Amino acid sequence: MSSSEVRREHVGRSVGRVDGAAKVTGRALYVDDLPARPGELHGAAVRSPVARGLLRSIELDPAFDWSDVTVVRAEDVPDNVVALLVDDQPVLARTRVNHAYEPVVLLACADRGKLERAVAAVRLELEPEPAVLELEAALAAETVISGPDNVQSRYLITKGAADVEAEDRVAASRAAIERALAGCEVVVSGRYSCHHQEHLYLEPNGMVAWWDADGLHATGSIQCPYYVQKGLCRGLRLPAERVHVTQAVTGGGFGGKEEYPTMLALHAALLAQKSGRPVRMVYGRREDIEATTKRHPAVCEVTTGCDRDGTLRVLSLRALYDAGAYVTLTPVVLSRGVLHAGGVYAWRDARIEGLSLATNTPPSGAFRGFGAPQTLWAIERHVDRVARELGRDPAELKRQNLLRVGDSTPTGQVLRGSVGLAECVTAALEASGYRDKRAAPPRVVGRKARGIGCSVVLHGAGFTGSGERRLQGKVAVDLRPGGRLCIRTASTDIGQGTETVFAQIVADAAGVGLADVDFATPCTTHVPDSGPTVASRTVMVVGSIVERAAQKVAARVRAEQAAAGGSFAAAGDRLLAREGAVSALEQYEPPGWVAWDDARYKGDAYPAFAFACDVAEVEVDLDTFEVRVVGFWCAADVGRAVNPVMCKGQLEGGALQAIGWALTEEVVWRDGRILNPRLTNYIVPTALDAPPFETFLVEAPFEHGPGGGAKGIGELPMDGGAPAVAAAIEHATGLVLDGLPLTPERLLAASLARGEVKP
């Protein structure tokens, strides 16, 4: 079927959530709602109180009654490794701890109260060692905790003048980019930093594990069932067919349930194995904030060169990412960071270097945006700075330099199409009244000053470079009795609407009704490995093979209908009676033109980019320096909106996370421990803090996207919020802030530095 023949009755319409009724009646079962299995125990972890040290001994208080408590230590773990990219992270610390809250001992008990007392009755004898707690300290490498110099992974992207062949590419490209900068009319430098962010999905991490004749079962709040299965196979030395991982209804993830649940599943499974009973582990909020991953803090040093007329020419950027104590997914996060570091601009010459460094903080991990918000914060703030130097309006300078079809990114990727950037900028600036608000001096009423600012960002959809080709994501669509179709995929719905959007795609591809499409519970035993639910890949990548699989199954039924008549349902039932099973298994293959060189970091980093322009209007209290976002406009090029309301919901929810990151969300550390692991003092925006959002969908279709051109947009909205807010604060107050978060303390400090406020 060619795409022109596809009738679009469902795609493009804001149908309600297919899982909506269950969620609004309280029927949906999240992991902690699952009924207790017979004999079930609760599990808990005993964690390190120090950031770094040698583990001398573990003592169980002899006065405590341990008779009904299961105890698991490192020596009980068949293969003490959390399988991710590198085998550096243990399931339980054995001889040393590398970050506060690192798990050391596991306990299980039927009585929750007793379990808590048991945790307190375990004494860890630790000999503290000097810890590295900040990026700067890691870079200085006076204390070395990883490799020769704490550097854990490294990337270099070069383009134009910086793209030199040399033995030492790092040094030669640096010299080359400096020469290119020296030839520019206007050279501007800046340094931009950003901080940890807690995911704060409202449902904490949770898992139930049990063993039976089929092997090990783990059901939990997860994004990636196959990641968990891989980790369980490795840590427990089990073949995949003995490990059954199922997703419960999941209360938000944002990356925080990408790699972390593997650890939790291992803990629950080990306790279940040793006790011979089912084990449930559901974190309280405090443990969830303390022990799980966070967004990588980063520092970016940027120097650019441009013409006096504002044409951007040369980019030199070095990004440092704080990986935390173990590698987990950091190299991939850093990769996405450097791949987005050029922003939405057409640089002639570019050198982008990225380093991740080990510290003794809990491992940084996947978080919506996955490395891109850090470099985009830097480049957007930096272009604002260039505008200031040139005396130009930042939005106009940005618009002047936008990537267009035919331009190339720093990796040399030539944009072939689906670039709705200029439309996004126009839509957001017009709707927000940016130009008028900006032309007038900032409005000061009483002690409140208003200002407006904008950012323009992009986000690559799918795995980077050759990733999708390696991944070979698969889905199946089955014909079921009564002409129903069932989608089997490991792409999970964690709130973003996968079940609904996939059903819309299938309904149109097969020419059936939405109510005739089912979504199988993601369980590794029953669904193929579609690859992980990450990287804005679910709709664009997995959705495209869902569409194809549905077309294939439907084509078989239609052929049967044509041959022997009857309704779709009747023909389907005849096929099923004859063949037993009718199904299509499809595997993703990136467009043929996608070429990527991993060694030199060159080529087509992503098959498509989504784009957005965000405008924030803020009100700054000139006495307290509190910042309120009073309006937020986002125009996003999504390729094709499969479900406009859900698409806008993604964009708005992501924008509010970005606003929280920018303004109030701050993880406060002391000696590697978190001082504010609670909702009372880790402040996420409420309905009263949130601005009204006006969101506009721009559709520049991607030819290989499903539903007529959808692109991935899950992460895009996390990218532009912080720089837009910072630009608005600058407009309102004249205060230039280059470090997140933009708390009253920092605004005050900037104001003091300017000599305005008496200390």
Partner 1 sequence: MKIELTVNGVARTLELPPLLRLLDVLRGPLGLTGTKEGCGEGECGTCAVLLDGEPVNACLVPIGQCDGRAVVTVEGLAVDGAPGALGRAMAEHGGAQCGICTPGMMISAEALLVARPAPSAGEVRHALGGTLCRCTGYERIVDSVLRAAAERRGAGEVGP
Residues that bind ligand FES (CB under 6 A): 202, 252, 495
Could you say which of ligand FES, partner 1, none residue 26 binds, taking C-beta under 5 to 8 angstroms by partner kind?
A: partner 1
Stretch that binds partner 1, among 194-202, 305-313, 600-608, 731-739 (CB under 8 A): 194-202
Q: Using the minimum distance from each CB to partner 1, give the nearer residue, 92 or 655.
A: 655
CA angle 541, 547, 549 (to 5 degrees): 105
Q: Using the minimum distance from each CB to partner 1, give the nearer residue, 221 or 411.
A: 221
DSSP assignment of 418-464, as one string? ---HHHHHHHHHHHHTHHHHHHSPPPEETTEEEEEEEEEEEEEESSS
The verdict on 310 binding partner 1 (CB under 8 A) reads no
For residue 578, the surrounding DSSP H or E stretch is helix 568-579
Q: Using the minimum distance from each CB to partner 1, give the nearer residue, 174 or 368.
A: 368
Question: Cβ of residue 656: shortest distance to partner 1, in angstroms?
Answer: 4
Tokens representing residue 107 in the block: 């306990």
Q: Using the minimum distance from each CB to ligand FES, give the nearer residue, 367 or 702.
A: 367
Q: Using the minimum distance from each CB to partner 1, give the nearer residue, 17 or 52.
A: 17
d(CA 126, CA 105): 13
The residue at minimum Cβ distance from ligand FES is 202
Question: Cβ of residue 324: shortest distance to partner 1, in angstroms?
Answer: 22
Q: Using the minimum distance from each CB to ligand FES, give the nearer residue, 462 or 495.
A: 495
The verdict on 446 binding partner 1 (CB under 8 A) reads no
Q: Using the minimum distance from each CB to ligand FES, give the nearer residue, 252 or 721.
A: 252
The verdict on 496 binding partner 1 (CB under 8 A) reads yes
d(CA 11, CA 546): 13
| List 95, 688, 755, 758, residue binding partner 1 (CB under 8 A) | 688
The verdict on 280 binding partner 1 (CB under 8 A) reads no
Footprint of partner 1 on residues 317-376 (CB under 8 A)? none
The verdict on 502 binding partner 1 (CB under 8 A) reads no
Could you say which of ligand FES, partner 1, none residue 32 binds, taking C-beta under 5 to 8 angstroms by partner kind?
A: partner 1
The verdict on 451 binding partner 1 (CB under 8 A) reads no
Instruction: Give the number of residues in contact with partner 1, rule: CB under 8 A.
Output: 56
Q: What is the DSSP letter of 147?
A: T
Question: Under 8 Å CB-to-CB from 284, ≥6 apart: which residues?
Answer: 204
Q: What is the amino acid identity at position 172?
A: A
Question: Cβ of residue 714: shortest distance to partner 1, in angstroms?
Answer: 11
| List 6, 9, 13, 32, residue binding partner 1 (CB under 8 A) | 32
Question: Cβ of residue 13: shortest distance to partner 1, in angstroms?
Answer: 11
Could you say which of ligand FES, partner 1, none residue 712 binds, taking C-beta under 5 to 8 angstroms by partner kind?
A: none
Could you say which of ligand FES, partner 1, none residue 290 binds, taking C-beta under 5 to 8 angstroms by partner kind?
A: none
Bridge-partner residues for 620, per DSSP? 449, 627
Tokens representing residue 602 in the block: 């060159």
Question: Cβ of residue 630: shortest distance to partner 1, in angstroms?
Answer: 13
* Closest CA relative to residue 323, chosen from 352, 292, 293, 302: 293
The verdict on 26 binding partner 1 (CB under 8 A) reads yes
Question: Under 8 Å CB-to-CB from 530, ≥6 apart: which residues?
Answer: 473, 474, 475, 489, 490, 491, 542, 545
Q: Secondary structure of 344-382 in the HEC alphabet?
A: CECCCEEEEEEEEEECCCCCCCCCCCCCHHHHHHHHHHH
Distance, first Cα to last Cα, the chain: 72
* Alpha helices, H only, 33-133: 112-120
Q: Using the minimum distance from each CB to partner 1, give the nearer residue, 568 or 661.
A: 661
Question: Under 8 Å CB-to-CB from 212, ≥6 apart: which residues?
Answer: none
| List 285, 392, 556, 746, residue binding partner 1 (CB under 8 A) | 285
Question: Cβ of residue 495: shortest distance to ligand FES, in angstroms?
Answer: 5
Tokens representing residue 262 in the block: 């593997």
d(CA 377, CA 704): 30
Q: Using the minimum distance from each CB to partner 1, give the nearer residue, 74 or 248.
A: 248
* Closest CA relative to residue 739, chosen from 749, 453, 731: 749
351 in Cβ contact with 316 (< 8 Å): yes
Question: Cβ of residue 687: shortest distance to partner 1, in angstroms?
Answer: 4
User: Which 3 state secondary structure label does DSSP give 515?
Assistant: helix
Backbone phi, psi, residue 414, to 5°: -85, 125
Could you say which of ligand FES, partner 1, none residue 559 binds, taking C-beta under 5 to 8 angstroms by partner kind?
A: none
Q: Using the minimum distance from each CB to ligand FES, give the nearer residue, 202 or 668.
A: 202
| List 252, 373, 412, 708, residue binding partner 1 (CB under 8 A) | 252
Q: Using the minimum distance from each CB to ligand FES, give the nearer residue, 175 or 202.
A: 202
Q: What is the amino acid identity at position 664?
A: T
Q: How many other C-beta atoms are found inside a 10 Å radius of the C-beta of residue 554?
A: 23
- Sort strands 312-324 and 349-358 into parallel, antiparallel or unpaired: parallel
Q: Using the minimum distance from each CB to partner 1, give the nearer residue, 274 or 285.
A: 285
The verdict on 202 binding partner 1 (CB under 8 A) reads yes
| List 1, 33, 668, 745, residue binding partner 1 (CB under 8 A) | 33
| List 109, 249, 315, 540, residue binding partner 1 (CB under 8 A) | 249
Dihedral, 522, 526, 532, 536 alpha carbons, nearest 10? -60
| List 192, 254, 347, 609, residue binding partner 1 (CB under 8 A) | 254
585 in Cβ contact with 545 (< 8 Å): no
Q: Using the minimum distance from each CB to ligand FES, give the nearer residue, 144 or 202.
A: 202
User: Which 3 state secondary structure label does DSSP give 69?
Assistant: coil
Q: Which residue has the tokens 């965000």?
A: 614
The verdict on 678 binding partner 1 (CB under 8 A) reads yes
Footprint of partner 1 on residues 690-719 (CB under 8 A)? 690, 692-693, 695
DSSP assignment of 238-297, as one string? --GGGEEEEEPB----TTTTTSHHHHHHHHHHHHHHHHTS-EEEE--HHHHHHHS--PPP
Q: Using the minimum distance from each CB to ligand FES, give the nearer residue, 22 or 202.
A: 202
Could you say which of partner 1, ligand FES, none residue 33 binds, taking C-beta under 5 to 8 angstroms by partner kind?
A: partner 1
Indicate the burial class of 416 (C-beta count within 10 angstroms; 0-12, 13-18, 19 or more).
middle
Q: Using the minimum distance from each CB to partner 1, give the nearer residue, 252 or 607.
A: 252
The verdict on 80 binding partner 1 (CB under 8 A) reads no
Distances (CA, A) of 562 to 480, 511, 551, 556, 570: 19, 15, 16, 10, 12
Footprint of partner 1 on residues 636-655 (CB under 8 A)? 645-646, 648-649, 652-655
Question: Cβ of residue 638: shortest distance to partner 1, in angstroms?
Answer: 15
- List contacts with partner 1 (CB under 8 A): 14, 16-17, 19-30, 32-33, 199-204, 249-254, 284-285, 494-497, 645-646, 648-649, 652-657, 678-680, 684, 686-688, 690, 692-693, 695
